[in-house]
Amino acid sequence: MDLSQSIEPNSAQVNAEDFLSGARTVTITSVEAGTSEQPVFIHTREFEGRTWRPSKTMRRVLVEAWGKDSSVYVGRRARLYRNPDVKFGGAAVGGIQIEALSNIDKPLSVALMVTRGKRAPFVVQPLPDAAPQRDWLAELEQTEGDIDLISALGKAAKQAGAHPSIMAKLTAAYQEAKGNS
C-alpha cells in the first residue's frame, strides 16, 4: 500500500511535505499577488487549487533566471524539491527549493544569503523547455493488471507531475489489481 497520499497536507498552498517522496516538476499556469507575508502565489498545473508560495530566496532565483515580469513565467517549468536544511527562525524546518528551471541555457549560479553577512552560490540546472509527453493510460493498458508494473508506473507518473485525473486512474487500477491478488 502506498501511504504517500495519506500524508499529504490539507492546505491551500504547496508545502515542503508534498516533496517527501522526491522532487517534482511543475508547469506554471499563472502568477498573482499574494499577502504581505507571502507576496507571490504561483499556480501550477500539477497542484491545481493550491499555490506554490516561493520564499524570498527562491523569488530572487526566479527573477535572476526569468526576469522581473511574471507574465512570462506562464507555461514555464520548475523542478522543485524539499531541502530539509532550510531554516526559519534559526531552526531547520525544511523548505521548497528550485532544482531546475526551463528557459535557461546553462546552469545558473546565484549568490544567496546563507546567514547574516555570508553568501553562498545556489546553482539551478536547466530543464528542457517542453515537458516530455507520455501516454500514461496507454502504458497502464500494457501492464495487463500486473500490480508491480502498475505501482512502478504510478510512481513514475507522480514524479513527472502527471495530471490529477491520470493519477486517479492509476490509483484506481492499482486498487483493482490489489483486490485481484
**What pLDDT digit, counting tens, does each position of 38-75 carry?**
899 999 988 888 999 999 999 999 999 999 999 999 98
**What pLDDT digit, counting tens, does each position of 96-110 carry?**
899 999 999 999 998
DSSP assignment of 143-174 equals TTT-HHHHHHHHHHHHHTT--HHHHHHHHHHH
Q: Return mean pLDDT, the chain.
A: 86
User: How many C-beta atoms surround the C-beta of residue 167 within 10 A?
Assistant: 17
Residue type, 7: I
Q: pTM above 0.85? A: no
Ranges assigned E (strand) in the chain: 24-33, 40-44, 51-52, 77-83, 87-88, 91-92, 95-101, 108-115, 118-126
How is residue 133 annotated by DSSP?
Answer: P
The DSSP bridge pattern shows strands 118-126 and 77-83 to be unpaired
Give CA angle at 7 (6, 9), nearest 5°: 115
- Is residue 84 very low, low, confident or very high in pLDDT (cuts 50, 70, 90)? confident
Give CA angle at 177 (165, 162), nearest 5°: 25
Q: Output the nine-digit C-alpha cell for 15.
A: 508545502
Confirm if 51 and 18 have CB atoms less than 8 A apart. Answer: no
